[in-house]
């Protein structure tokens, strides 16, 4: 598997060629969140790349000499801000753990500098399913490596994400080292999960 930034791909190929490649990504119809993952790559990733809002990385693989997208992820520089009232609802133990890598703001919110894993998706197209090139854990590992590269250059303490309040999804991210912020739902009505950058 090779990780290729969308920016590099756009600089070496026409936008039409890149759009055509991105359209081969299929996330399946597992949930509303899966639909969003597919929609983002096909319809928003190039624009977000152009305006510097998110950096998207394609995980490419080969099967029978044919190149395909095995998965992708998008990373955004964004602090995790937990409102004061939500922070108070967290267990005392979890509050202490968070205090180790964040600070209170002037409005008494709690802020941790870091990165948002804005999108993560495995390709469920026929060729990708046949090749079985990348697991969700593989994609998380590759995304985490990129975030560590960014941390070495620009700092940051946490990687966080938003996900559906779905036991299977939450269990998957927990198996990858993320911790759910209990009793805290984002403005998008999603659960927040966080992993310390080490």
Residues in the chain: 198
Pick from 161, 147, 156: nearest CA to 193 = 161
Give domain limits for the chain: 2-196
> What's the pLDDT score for residue 138?
96
HEC assignment per residue over 12-55: HCCHHHHHHHHCCCCCCCCCHHHHHHHHHHHHHHHHHHHCCCCE
**Cβ atoms within 10 Å, residue 31:** 14
Give CA–CA dist 117/125, Å, rounded.
23
72 burial via Cβ count (<10 Å: 0-12, 13-18, 19+): buried
Give the relative orientation of helices 136-154 and 167-175 as an angle to the nearest 10 degrees.
Answer: 60
Q: Do residues 191 and 185 lie in contact, with contact meaning Cβ atoms separated by under 8 Å?
A: yes
Residue 71, SS3 per DSSP: strand
Pick from 78, 1, 8: nearest CA to 46 = 8
pTM given for the model: 0.89
The pLDDT tens digits of the residues spanning 111-133 come to 888 999 999 999 999 999 899 88
Tokens of 64: 């029978």
> What's the pLDDT score for residue 31?
62
pLDDT tens across the length of the chain (198 residues): 899 999 999 999 999 999 999 999 998 765 656 688 999 999 999 999 999 999 999 999 999 999 999 999 999 999 888 877 777 777 777 777 776 667 777 666 788 889 999 999 999 999 998 998 899 999 999 999 999 999 999 998 899 999 999 899 999 999 999 999 877 788 888 999 999 898
Architecture category of domain 2-196 in CATH: 3-Layer(aba) Sandwich (3.40)
> What's the pLDDT score for residue 10?
96
> What's the pLDDT score for residue 184?
79
């Amino acid at each position: 598997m090779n990780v290729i930034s969308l920016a590099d791909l756009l600089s070496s190929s026409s936008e039409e060629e890149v759009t055509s490649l991105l359209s081969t990504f299929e996330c399946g119809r597992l949930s509303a969140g899966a639909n969003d993952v597919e929609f983002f790559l096909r319809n928003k990733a190039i624009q977000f790349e152009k305006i510097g809002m998110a950096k998207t990385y394609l995980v490419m693989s080969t099967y029978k000499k044919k190149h395909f997208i095995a998965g992708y992820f998008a990373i955004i520089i964004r602090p995790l801000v937990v409102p004061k009232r939500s922070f108070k609802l967290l267990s005392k133990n979890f509050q202490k753990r968070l205090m180790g890598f964040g600070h209170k703001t002037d409005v008494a919110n709690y802020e941790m500098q870091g990165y948002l894993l804005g999108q993560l998706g495995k390709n469920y197209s026929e060729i990708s399913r046949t090749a079985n090139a990348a697991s969700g854990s593989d994609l998380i590992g590759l995304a985490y490596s990129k975030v560590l590269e960014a941390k070495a250059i620009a700092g940051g303490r946490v990687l966080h994400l938003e996900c559906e309040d779905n036991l299977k999804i939450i269990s998957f991210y927990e198996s990858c080292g993320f911790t759910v912020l209990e009793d805290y739902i984002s403005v998008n009505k999603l659960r927040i999960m966080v992993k310390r950058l080490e």
